[in-house]
Amino acid sequence: MNLILNMTSRADRRLAAIATTNGAALFYGFGNFYALAALPDLESMRRVNTLKGRPLDQVGSVTTDPSRAHRIFDWDGLDRATIQSVMAEFLALGPIGFRGPASSIVPEHLTVVDHGIRTAQLIMPGDGCLSNDLVGEILDLSGEELLFITSANTSSNVSKQAEAAHCEMRAIREEFGHRPEAVLIGHADERTNRQLYPYHLPCSTSIVAFHRGSLVLERHGSLGVDDARAIAAAHGLELAIAPGAHERQPVRWPSADALRQYAA
C-alpha cells in the first residue's frame, strides 16, 4: 500500500513532485479536501480517467500555481484588472474555480467550447495551501505551465454512487493506495487544516465564470452563494446564478467518523 507523504515536509513535496513529473497520478491536499492531478498531456489525462473509471476522453479542469494563474486565460476584451481583483479575493478565502476564455497554452483536450468561446476551467486551492508550492515545483521540473486536475475519487460510472469529495486521505488510500501509478501526499493534521477554511464546505469547488461579459456562479459548491455575491458586490459587480447552481453541491462523507470529526 502506498506511503502517504506529508505536505508540510519539503523533502516529501520534492518526492511527490518528481513522481508526478515522471507520470504519476498525484492525490494531494487541496484546501480543505483532496484533489487528483497529473501532467496536462492527452495520454496523462486518459490514464487518470482510466484510473477513476471515467470515459477515456472526458474533459477535466486545469490547475497551476499562483504565479502562473494569469496565463491560463485570454484576457483580450475583458476587464482584466477587475476580474483579477475578484479572483484574488476568492483565492484569499480558499478553494475556488474560474472559467474563462482559454489562452493558447491550454491544450485542446482540456477546453470546452461554450457559445463559440473556447474556455478553460481553472481550479485552485486558495492562497494558504502548501500545495501551491508543490504544484509550482512540479511545473518547474516538468517545464509545463499547468496540470490536469480532477476529483480524487472513483467515478460514479464504476461505483454507481455519488462521487465523494474526499476530506480524508485514508479513504483515498483505500481506493487507490494499491495502484503503482498513484502518489499520495496529505495534510499532517486534516482536522486542523479543515478549520483554516471556515467559509468552505468540503465538497466540489464553487465555479465562477466570466467569459460571457458577466460573473456567473456556474457551480454552487464549497463556497456559499452569499459569500460569493458579497465578493462580487465589493467590486461593483452582480453575480448571476446559473440554472444548475441554485442547489448547492452535496457534502459527501467517506465515513461516519469523518462527519463526526468535521462537526466536532
**Number of structural domains, the chain?**
1
Measure the CA dihedral 259/12/24/98, to 10°. 60
Q: Measuring CA to CA, which residue among 11, 21, 27, 2 is closest to residue 185?
A: 27
Q: What is the CATH number of the domain that holds 18?
A: 3.90.870.10
* pTM listed for this prediction: 0.92
Residue 55's pLDDT is 93
Grid coordinates representing 215 are 460573473
Residue 159's pLDDT is 47
The answer to whether 31 touches 194, Cβ cutoff 8 Å, is no
Q: Which helix (H) or strand (E) covers residue 259, if one does?
A: helix 256-263
Write the CA distances from 95 to 16, 75, 79, 164, 208, integer angstroms. 21, 22, 23, 16, 12
Q: Is the dihedral of CA 21, 24, 25, 30 positive or negative?
A: negative
The answer to whether 40 touches 157, Cβ cutoff 8 Å, is no
Residue 251's pLDDT is 77
The answer to whether 98 touches 84, Cβ cutoff 8 Å, is no
pLDDT under 70: residue ranges of the chain: 1, 156-165, 252-264
Q: How many residues does the chain have?
A: 264
Residue 256's pLDDT is 47
Q: Which residues contact 260 (CB under 8 A, 6 or more apart)?
A: none
The answer to whether 203 touches 250, Cβ cutoff 8 Å, is yes
Q: Give residue-wise pLDDT tens across range 175-212.
A: 898 999 999 999 989 989 999 999 999 888 999 999 98
Residue 53: domain span: 4-263
Residue 156's pLDDT is 54
